[in-house]
């Protein structure tokens, strides 16, 4: 599919005022706004107007809760409210955490008209969304993403879920939020390593969909890492535009949406092999995108200069460009075999047809994949 085709069916619209951008994700009766801007947590009406009932359960974690939970108090005034504070970490994107949320909902007698509010990064967003999808067969939820990764990716599009010890994100549901409120001021407290992890997904949008945006990232990566507010706002806005365009066309990943997983099949294998949380999701995706680019080159679709370009921007974003030392080709092959993109026993991967255009395909040479895995795990050719 060419980029022109995608733009021709674009179904998002954006309004703009000085402090806040509003993007609408157009999904019929499941449409919702994404608000992006500074100081949004200080606008209580923004959250309040999206809470339809008389109760709300906030889910956050032990890091984000102390920083930002109290900032929601004004918006929640007069409602029945409870807060679940989970331990911090990818390891807690688990069935046990889900049980904790279900327990709080049932013990607190929260009814079907309640609203779950996810306050945190992608871990909190994914698990809260799944709790909302499953509690009483589905209740409302709102995303308040506080990491760059969550603001550009995980809070938008309705993929929710938890990890299983045997595979990342293996249990979950599509469940769209009522609204996404991305207050870019929250990024000021984010550790540098987490900011870099978020940049992996920003770079992804350039690689899969928008080559001029990739060029913009190359020019502005130092400003982004220095948290320049204007640069961050542009990166978040363009990332959300691309994601919203793709999701609006293919909400349940029947086809196009899978391009959003560039590098993720390799990356999920890395996350799984190294133990959830040791490599951040965005770090694993960074290395995975280098592997996907190299395989795309082996297939003859992009050039060595393109691979070098992808690798350079991933490196400049502060991300790894190689697999963990301990991983072997066999570990990759085993773990990639349980990816959700495996269909009828056939592994499919997101590869680059050219810079700015991705394809989801099982039609690659298995010997090339093997050689690529060898390169990234053994010979040291692709290591920095
Ligand atoms: P995360 O949720 O673990 O957050 C990263 C770290 O930053 C945590 O320690 C968190 O406590 C801390 N943190 C969050 N906000 C902060 C703030 N403002 N100030 C200081 N610290 C803060 O990780 P993440 O990178 O946000 O998300 C990764 C998760 O998202 C993975 O589980 C991944 O699978 C998932 N994901 C989901 C989708 C989707 O479409 N649903 C897309 C991409 C990633
Ligand atoms: N992050 C991949 C997706 O939302 O589809």
Each residue of 133-153: pLDDT tens digit? Answer: 999 999 999 999 999 999 999
Residue 380 CA to ligand 2 center (angstroms) comes to 30
pLDDT > 70: percent of the chain: 93
pLDDT of residue 5: 40
Ligand at minimal distance from the CA of 86 is: 1
Tens digit of each residue's pLDDT (9 = 90 or more) over 36-76? 999 999 999 999 999 999 999 999 999 999 999 999 999 99
Q: Is it the case that residue 9 has pLDDT exceeding 50?
A: no
Tens digit of each residue's pLDDT (9 = 90 or more) over 304-316? 999 999 999 999 9
Protein residue closest via CA to atom 5 of ligand 2: 260
Which one is catalytic: 45, 107, 109, 137? 137
Residue 262 CA to ligand 2 center (angstroms) comes to 10
Residue 210 CA to ligand 1 center (angstroms) comes to 24
Q: What is the DSSP letter of 194?
A: H
pLDDT of residue 167: 80
Q: Is it the case that residue 382 has pLDDT exceeding 90?
A: no
pLDDT of residue 139: 98
Lowest mean pLDDT among 11-20, 158-167, 244-253, 262-271: 11-20
pLDDT of residue 285: 97
Residue 187 CA to ligand 1 center (angstroms) comes to 12
Output the six-digit token pair for 23.
């993007």
To test the pocket of ligand 1, the residue of 64, 69, 122, 282 to mutate (highest count of ligand atoms within 8 Å of its CB) is 122
- Give DSSP secondary structure letters for 100-166: HHHHHHHHTT--TT-EEEEEESHHHHHHHHHHHHHGGG--EEEEEE-SHHIIIIITSS-EEEEEETT
268 in active site:
yes
Name the one residue in this structure whose structure tokens are 């999920």: 268
Q: How far is CA 343 from CA 141, 249, 253, 346, 364, in A?
A: 31, 21, 13, 5, 15
Q: Is the CB of 157 under 6 A from ligand 2?
A: yes
The neighbour count for residue 384, using CB atoms within 10 Å, is 8
Q: pTM of the predicted model, to two decimals?
A: 0.93
Protein residue closest via CA to atom 2 of ligand 2: 260
Q: Is it the case that residue 287 has pLDDT exceeding 80?
A: yes
To test the pocket of ligand 1, the residue of 65, 67, 131, 150 to mutate (highest count of ligand atoms within 8 Å of its CB) is 150
| 8 Å CB contact between 84 and 104 | yes
pLDDT of residue 12: 44
163 in active site:
no
Residue 371 CA to ligand 1 center (angstroms) comes to 32
E strands present in 176-280:
179-183
- Give DSSP secondary structure letters for 298-329: HTTSS-HHHHHHHHHHHHHTT---S--TT--H
201 in active site:
yes
Protein residue closest via CA to atom 3 of ligand 2: 260
pLDDT of residue 15: 54
237 in active site:
no
Lowest mean pLDDT among 159-173, 272-286, 349-363, 369-383: 369-383
Stretch 161-188: mean pLDDT: 94
């Amino acid at each position: 599919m060419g980029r022109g085709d995608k733009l021709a069916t674009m179904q998002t619209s954006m309004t703009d005022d000085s402090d806040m951008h509003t993007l609408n994700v157009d999904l019929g009766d499941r449409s919702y706004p994404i608000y992006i801007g500074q100081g949004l947590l200080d606008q209580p009406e923004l959250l309040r107007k999206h809470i339809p009932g008389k109760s709300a359960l906030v889910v956050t974690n032990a890091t984000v809760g102390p920083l930002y939970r109290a900032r929601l108090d004004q918006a929640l005034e007069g409602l029945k409210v409870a807060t679940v504070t989970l331990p911090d970490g990818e390891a807690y994107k688990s069935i046990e955490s889900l049980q904790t949320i279900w327990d709080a909902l049932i013990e607190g007698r929260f009814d079907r008209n309640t609203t779950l509010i996810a306050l945190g990064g992608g871990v909190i967003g994914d698990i809260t969304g799944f709790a909302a999808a499953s509690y009483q067969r589905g209740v409302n939820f709102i995303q308040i993403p506080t990491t760059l990764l969550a603001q550009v990716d995980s809070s938008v599009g309705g993929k929710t879920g938890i990890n299983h010890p045997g595979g990342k994100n293996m249990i979950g549901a599509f469940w769209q939020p009522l609204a996404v409120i991305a207050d870019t001021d929250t990024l000021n407290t984010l550790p540098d390593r987490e900011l870099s992890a978020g940049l992996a997904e920003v770079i992804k949008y350039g690689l899969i969909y928008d080559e001029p945006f990739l060029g913009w990232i190359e020019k502005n990566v130092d400003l982004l890492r220095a948290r320049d507010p204007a640069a961050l706002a542009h990166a978040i806005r363009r990332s959300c535009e691309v994601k919203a365009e793709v999701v609006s066309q293919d909400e349940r990943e029947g086809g196009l949406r899978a391009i959003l997983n560039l590098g993720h099949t390799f990356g999920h294998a890395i996350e799984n092999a190294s133990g959830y949380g040791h490599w951040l999701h965005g770090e694993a995706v960074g290395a995975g995108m280098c592997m996907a680019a190299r395989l795309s080159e082996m297939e003859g679709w992009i050039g060595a200069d393109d691979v070098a370009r992808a690798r350079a921007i991933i490196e400049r974003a502060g991300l790894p460009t190689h697999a963990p030392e301990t991983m072997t080709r066999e570990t990759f092959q085993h773990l990639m075999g349980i990816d959700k993109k495996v269909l009828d026993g056939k592994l499919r991967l997101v590869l680059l047809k050219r810079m700015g255009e991705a394809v989801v395909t099982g039609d690659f040479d298995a010997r090339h994949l093997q050689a690529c895995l060898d390169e990234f795990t053994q010979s040291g050719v692709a290591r920095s």
